[in-house]
Amino acid sequence: MTASDQRRRVETELRPGHDAAREVVATARERGDLVTVFGRCTVEYEGRASSYLGPGDRHVMLKPDGTVLVHTDEGQQPVNWQPPGCTHDATLANGQLEVRSERTTPEESIVVSFERVQQVSAFAMEDSSELSVSGTEADLKQRILDEPDLVEPGFTPLATERQTPAGAVDVYGEDAEGRVVVVELKRRRVGPDAVGQLDRYVQAVERDLHAESEVRGVLVAPSVTDRARTLLGEKGHGFVAATPDGE
């Protein structure tokens, strides 16, 4: 097997026996492969707290850096996880596959006990590229600070991340007539939730200021849904179409 073939190596077993699944996991871990196991299992955590997740179908990922992630069929976050630097071990307990992840500082462990293994896979990975991030909300904020007229002619930024009981206002400023303007920034197309967030900021700032102060809200994003645009009009807030990179 050439070095190129070695890097592309993928090993998959469908509905393996528990001993065969254990062999795949153990061998792959020794090679430094990324390993995934899907099947019906329980998950037990012991450490700074303790938890138990009863039987269910889950996807378990063991990364070469010691990370372990346990996913259910809901949400983007794992229900259980361990950070890089943990050690993993695959054994048989009562004839079933058991995957254990342990951390020493602090002392924590996750034990995944498989009642049934549907699939186990091992991937030899090579990834030396660094993530390049562009077009963030921070970039959009800098655009506004560099070109305040993007919000509206005469807009003057006075502060960023101004704290309120409802959260931090992205950009706080004044319009050409001296009225307070609360600017909420979003890097992607947004819906009614973003309008609700902006309105909560506006109300929080109004409560902070004296009674005669007039506070306006402006939502800055690449685009908004029709419902969001309608809500902005109903609440008296404005919308400005802008992107972080200026395109």
pLDDT tens digits, one per residue of 188-208: 899 999 999 999 999 999 998
59 and 165 together in one domain? no
Pairwise CA distance, residues 139 & 144, whole Å: 9
Whether the model pTM is above 0.95: no
Among 123, 156, 187, residue at a domain's last position: 123
pLDDT tier, 244 (very low <50, low <70, confident <90, very high otherwise) = confident
CA atoms within 13 A on the CB side of 209: 17
112 and 13 together in one domain? yes
150 and 103 together in one domain? no
Judged against a pLDDT cut of 60, whether residue 132 lies above it is answered with no
170 and 79 together in one domain? no
pLDDT tier, 2 (very low <50, low <70, confident <90, very high otherwise) = very low
Higher pLDDT, 246 or 108: 108
The tally of domains found in the chain comes to 2
Task: List the CATH number of the domain containing 180.
Answer: 3.40.1350.10
Phi and psi torsions of 95, nearest 5°: 80, 5
- The one-character DSSP state at 190 is B
Helices and strands of the chain, counted as H and E runs:
5, 13
27 and 91 together in one domain? yes
88 and 149 together in one domain? no
Task: List the CATH number of the domain containing 8.
Answer: 2.70.180.20
Residues 28/131, Cβ–Cβ less than 8 Å: no
131 in a structural domain: no
Judged against a pLDDT cut of 50, whether residue 1 lies above it is answered with no
Judged against a pLDDT cut of 90, whether residue 230 lies above it is answered with yes
10 and 95 together in one domain? yes
> Which of 162, 181, 178, 158 shows the shortest CA–CA distance to 170?
162
Range of the domain at 92: 3-123
Give residue for tokens 């303790």.
50
Among 123, 158, 178, residue at a domain's last position: 123
Which residues in 80-98 are b (16+ Cβ under 10 Å) and which e? Answer: bbbeeebebebeeeeebbb
Q: Which two tokens stand for residue 155?
A: 């807009």
